[in-house]
Structure 1
Amino acid sequence: MGIQEIIESKKQWRAHMARVKALPPDHRIVYKEIQRYFFKVGPADASLLPGLLDFLEEGAAAGRGAVELVGNDVAAFCDDLVRDSRTDA
């Protein structure tokens, strides 16, 4: 990976995290819990995070709470998301 690719990757990550910070507090907490789960045992490439962020943003825009979107058991929600993905664990 060249320096330009590293710089572009960091720009994309910072833009992604800016979107996370713009989420309502309950959605942001759920996102960060799922992110933490993914970094520990989730998909090896973390490619689900942008889609997850889209999902939470759309839910927030529709007025749906984070628990309504993912349920009471965040780990079970994560397990369902990564069921068919290669994981680090």
Structure 2
Amino acid sequence: MSGDEKNGFLMKVIGPKKRWRAYKARVKELPESHRAAVEAIERYLMHFVPTDGDSNAAMFEDLADLFEQAAADGTPIRDVVGDDPVVFVDEFAQNYSEGGYVPARTRKQLTEDIERAAGTEDTTA
């Protein structure tokens, strides 16, 4: 893959670099448990076939919005993603893309990552 092809692919996956950096800065400000959950979801979402960079940028921005609000409200991760994070993320992603094949290993990894993130929440807040 040439440099131009690679950059074109990345733009399609993550959207414009400026929006991606702004999204990553927002995620960095989340509490540790919420940030870990968002990063797990982000890794999983990279397996979906993007429709275009703007749709994917909007998807990640909406993900940040969701978890920023959850953190502000003290909403536990499990209340956001439910019992099956794979179902949550698949349904979330369908609003932005045509979907994609996600290997079973990646689905299992998401479930384990969310379990770890939910287990690190400070429930005293």
The answer to whether the 8 A contact 2:70-2:76 is kept is: yes
Structure 1 residue runs without a partner (length 5+): 1-5
SS at 2:74 equivalent: coil
Residue 72 (structure 2) pairs with residue 65 (structure 1): no
- 1:54 aligns with 65
Counterpart code for 2:43: R
The answer to whether the 8 A contact 1:27-1:60 is kept is: yes
Residue 25 (structure 2) pairs with residue 18 (structure 1): yes
Aligned mates of 1:64, 1:26 — CA distance in 2: 11
- 1:81 aligns with 92
Structure 2 residue runs without a partner (length 5+): 1-10, 102-125
TM-score (norm 2): 0.56
Kindly tell me: are residues 82 and 65 of structure 1, through their superposed partners in 2, closer, same or farther at Cα, counting changes over 3 Å?
A: same
- 1:40 aligns with 47
Runs of 4+ in 1 over 4 A off after TM superposition: none
Identical-residue share of aligned pairs (%)? 37
Note the aligned Cα RMSD (angstroms): 2.1
Tell me how far 1:42 sits from its aligned partner.
Answer: 5.7
- 2:119 aligns with none
Deviations 1:1-50, CA, capped at 9 Å, x for gaps: xxxxx8xx323221210110111111111111111111013654423111
SS at 1:87 equivalent: coil
